[in-house]
Amino acid sequence: MLEFLSANWNDLLVKTWEHFYISLAAIILGVIVAVPLGILLSRVPKFAGRFISFIGILQTIPSLAILAFFIPILGVGKLPAIVALFFYSLLPILRNTYIGVQGVNDSVIEAGKGMGMNDWQSIIKMELPLSLPVIMAGIRLSTVYLIGWATLASFIGGGGLGDFIFDGLNLYQPALIVAGTVPATILAVIADRSLAVVENKLTPEGLKDSYNAV
């Protein structure tokens, strides 16, 4: 294994960067789409349940099938891989955003309205900060999942650490499998811990105390 690393360390760095880039792009797209959509759905709860269930059904489609579906539309490479992973990022973020915003105490929202806040100000200043721990839990879950699923990008020429894993399987070389698996696992752990730090920084002090008490 050490011999493999000494001979292929540059390639390993490139593949790790590709893996990180694909995962990061997909999760950023997921946050940009799912968080506002979750807030919007919290305004129409009768429709929200059906829509979230529909997104859940999409997530039951096998990953390889999703990747194959985008090949005729987007070709091969990183773009279809990012788009496919984006679809898989939606459900945890969307559901947690909806649950988090719905869980904000009605009396708090009414107090904000009593101070003259409009709907937009209520979302930015009260609902989002108060629901942030729940939303961040969904983002962290999606991020860890996507880093694992990003290995499948190798099947459509997207690069990443999956190249090592599938080459190792095809060539019966355990060193290649380990070289792809270990960095992906480390990336997932680092991403989860980094997001936990971000969550802690952004969560209002009063909420931190209540969560610590629990």
- Is the distance from CB of 204 to CB of 130 less than 8 angstroms? yes
CATH architecture, domain 17-160+185-206? Orthogonal Bundle (1.10)
* 162-189 average pLDDT score: 88
User: pLDDT class for 213, splitting at 50, 70, 90?
Assistant: very low
The whole model's pTM is what?
A: 0.84
Lowest mean pLDDT among 32-36, 53-57, 144-148, 181-185: 53-57
Lowest mean pLDDT among 11-15, 182-186, 190-194: 11-15
Say what the pLDDT of residue 93 is: 93
- DSSP state letter for 150: G
Instruction: Decide if pLDDT at 115 tops 90.
Output: no
Which residue type, as a one-letter code, is found at position 41?
L
DSSP assignment of 26-72: HHHHHHHHHHHHHHHHHT-HHHHHHHHHHHHHHHTS-HHHHHHHHHH
User: What percent of the chain is predicted at pLDDT more than 90?
Assistant: 27
Mean pLDDT of all residues belonging to the chain: 84
- Is the distance from CB of 146 to CB of 83 less than 8 angstroms? no
Lowest mean pLDDT among 9-18, 35-44, 63-72: 63-72
More confident residue, 126 or 144: 144
3-class SS at 116?
coil
Say what the pLDDT of residue 5 is: 65
Lowest mean pLDDT among 35-49, 61-75, 94-108, 198-212: 198-212
Say what the pLDDT of residue 17 is: 92
User: pLDDT class for 187, splitting at 50, 70, 90?
Assistant: very high
Instruction: Decide if pLDDT at 210 tops 80.
Output: no
Residues 6+ apart with CB under 8 A from 143: 23, 27, 89, 188, 191, 192, 195
